[in-house]
A and B are shown apart, each in its own frame.
Chain A
Amino acid sequence: MPEQPRAALPGAAFVERYVEADGFRIRYLEAGQGQPLVWLHGAGGVRFSRAQDLLAERYRVIVFEAPGFGHSPANERSASIRDLARTMAQATTALGLERYNLLGHSFGGRLALWLAIQAPERIQALVLAAPAAILPEDHVRPVTPPESQAQLLYAHPERQPPLPRPAPAVLAKQEALVRRLRGPNRDPELEDKLGSLDVPVLVLFGTRDAMIPPEMGRIYREKLPNCHYILVYDAGHALDADRPEAFVSVVGDFLERHESFVVSQANALINP
């Protein structure tokens, strides 16, 4: 595949703002207009790809930086991921979002699932991108934060633009927080609640995810009453970065039409 020249780095059009919620000063980055789409990052902190830029053409994309990530002070207060979910819900309220679309990647997918479980009436649609909510029993998080290893994150690291690497102190702070909050590989408390989650859900995994086996997607499909499981070919764990156009195409269609998105609306007419 030929390299595509980029005019600016991913996320360049996003404007940085802050909101007070639950005693935290929460940083977020925002671009686009229309229906709100809240994006929750993975364990490596806020990561921009072309996918958010493309989604910002159709949605008001709000990329939160959860307390304790990036340059925010260490978060000693959130006791569990359920706690953090309640905090993030308050942040969305503080922004005036009554109902919104929600997308979570990896650790952010687990967080997003808890937000949906806690207040499903506020979630229009839920997108779980390589979610870390259901992991193999024997899954072990590597000692080096995997989000700092390009080979583990991407199927095609050579195609990624050079993004600024977080400082070692930031990585260490984030890693400690993630380890405290992430919970067990299989959480019966979480999984028992899935059967009654009345929200349209899309679960996506890259076929070349080297961090979470893409087959885990089938468990969400099995347990959730309104869930579709899509494999993104030749994408790794950061599937939005490996294949942004493909990711946005299917996510965008799902956000528009929810479960009706299984019915093609493509125009195959060659000539009238």
Chain B
Amino acid sequence: MKAAVFSPSPYHGPAPRGTWPVPTDAFSAELAQQSLATSLDNFQLADELGFDWVSVAEHHFAPMSLTPNPMIMAGALTQRVRRARVALLGATIPILNPVRVAEEFAMLDNLTGGRIVAGMLRGTSNEYVTYNINPAESWERFEEALELIVKAWTEPQPFGWQGRYYEYRTISIWPKPAQLPHPPIYVSGSSPESGELAARHRLHVGFAFTTVPIAREAARRFRQQANAYGWEPTPDHVLYRVTAHVAETDEQAYEDLYAAGAAERRPAFSTSNRAVDDAAAGAGYYGRDQATQRARLETHALDQRVALGQILLGSPETVLDRVRWIRDEVGAGIIELIFQPLPQGKTRRAIELFGTQVLPRLREL
């Protein structure tokens, strides 16, 4: 089993909560630079400890992420992370220029000597407001862009594209990706639509912003659809993202969280602007299984989060046990960890504990 360290590179400083977009009048460049430096240091530590991947993602207009462009963060990581894969989970495809995305992934793949994981996502509902794209077009844009990006990566002659949402007369990207036929592609597996798309195109799936029961069902459905398309996903085809904090003992881990005020229920990033989320939902953004997809984003009290597999919390032994449970329930071959940001070096300590005491035992799973 593999383990990855994910971080949205949050801003560590006072900032408004429960709203989106978040005003920047209290923004401090000094704090932002410290936050980014911490993030880079943690990724480098993960690399040194032997984690399989480091992962970045794309979120806009809020202090929860200082990487609205994950490509740039991944670019920095190509120079700091020398062995682990660098995963972008993901780029928010429907709001971007697919040819540009293809070029950026290809650049990164060459800068890393072929270590990129290309995550391609639709993003949370509010992301469409960022660049003024209609969320009702989300699925169609996503499918078309995905095909166009793969074509741009693999077609040796200049070609044009006459699509529904994208029109180009002549494309010939330099560089081409280093990996052949191209970097592995991960998409969300959570909705029936995304699972079906992944099955049809033989892609890998990731589960994030979810619970183990929901992911278990979605993973089962994905495998069933893959079989119908004539192939069998391996554990490496399934990733599960989860928040984590590891301490010497279970008690210490819980205490760390409560002391930092991280145990309380917080409004979710994407749903903190209710009007935006309702409008996107009304435009069909969540697909035909709207109730489940919106339920994924509900926030819970800490005990519930632990029970649902939304957070791994405890000693190395406890955490290893919970990872084993996720592996068994969801069939995930990659566990992707968001180490809870905490003060006084506790996050760094958590990464070290996982890296030295859990990671070696994961190889046996």
User: Contact: B151 with A231, CB < 8 Å?
Assistant: yes
CA A232 to CA B156, docked complex, whole Å? 17
User: Contact: B162 with A231, CB < 8 Å?
Assistant: yes
Any chain A CB within 8 A of the CB of B163?
Answer: yes
Shortest C-beta distance, A228 to chain B (Å), equals 6
User: Contact: B147 with A233, CB < 8 Å?
Assistant: yes
Shortest C-beta distance, A4 to chain B (Å), equals 14
User: Contact: B156 with A229, CB < 8 Å?
Assistant: no
Partner of B159, one of A221, A249, A250: A221
Return 22 A-B CB contacts under 8 Å, by A number: A204-B162, A207-B151, A215-B155, A217-B157, A218-B159, A221-B157, A228-B158, A228-B160, A229-B158, A229-B160, A230-B160, A230-B161, A230-B162, A230-B169, A233-B166, A234-B144, A234-B164, A246-B164, A250-B167, A261-B169, A262-B160, A263-B169
* List of B residues within 8 angstroms of A207 by Cβ: 147, 151
CA A75 to CA B151, docked complex, whole Å? 42
Interface residues of B in 136-188 (CB under 8 A from A): 144, 147-148, 151, 155-164, 166-167, 169-170
User: Contact: A231 with B169, CB < 8 Å?
Assistant: no
CA A212 to CA B44, docked complex, whole Å? 49
* List of A residues within 8 angstroms of B144 by Cβ: 233-234
Among the interface residues B148, B167, B169, B170, which one has the most CB atoms of the partner chain A within 10 A? Answer: B169
Contact with B along A251-272 (1 / 0, CB 8 A): 0000000000111100000000
Shortest C-beta distance, A270 to chain B (Å), equals 10
Any chain B CB within 8 A of the CB of A98?
Answer: no
Q: A207-B147, A261-B169, A262-B170 are in contact. Are A232 and B162 (CB under 8 A)?
A: yes
User: Contact: B163 with A229, CB < 8 Å?
Assistant: no
CA A249 to CA B161, docked complex, whole Å? 12
* A interface size (C-beta, 8 A): 23
Partner of B169, one of A232, A243, A247, A264: A264
* List of B residues within 8 angstroms of A222 by Cβ: 157
Shortest C-beta distance, B353 to chain A (Å), equals 49
Partner of B160, one of A231, A234, A243, A263: A231
The 8 closest A-B pairs by CB, nearest first: A230-B160, A218-B157, A233-B163, A262-B169, A221-B157, A232-B162, A229-B159, A246-B162
Shortest C-beta distance, B150 to chain A (Å), equals 11
Shortest C-beta distance, A91 to chain B (Å), equals 31
CA A260 to CA B344, docked complex, whole Å? 62
Chain A residue with Cβ nearest B160:
A230
Task: Given contacts A215-B155, A231-B160, A262-B160, list 11 more A-B pairs with CB under 8 A.
Answer: A207-B151, A218-B155, A218-B156, A228-B170, A231-B151, A232-B162, A233-B147, A246-B163, A250-B162, A250-B167, A262-B170
Chain B residue with Cβ nearest A202:
B160
CA A95 to CA B144, docked complex, whole Å? 43
User: Contact: A230 with B159, CB < 8 Å?
Assistant: yes
* List of B residues within 8 angstroms of A217 by Cβ: 157, 159
User: Contact: A233 with B169, CB < 8 Å?
Assistant: no
CA A221 to CA B156, docked complex, whole Å? 10
Chain B residue with Cβ nearest A220:
B157
Partner of B161, one of A215, A218, A233, A264: A233
* List of A residues within 8 angstroms of B166 by Cβ: 233
CA A127 to CA B170, docked complex, whole Å? 16
* List of B residues within 8 angstroms of A228 by Cβ: 158, 160, 169-170
Chain B residue with Cβ nearest A249:
B162
User: Contact: B169 with A229, CB < 8 Å?
Assistant: no
Q: A228-B169, A262-B169, A262-B170 are in contact. Are A233 and B159 (CB under 8 A)?
A: no
Interface residues of B in 5-33 (CB under 8 A from A): none
* List of B residues within 8 angstroms of A231 by Cβ: 151, 159-162
CA A247 to CA B156, docked complex, whole Å? 23
Shortest C-beta distance, B176 to chain A (Å), equals 14
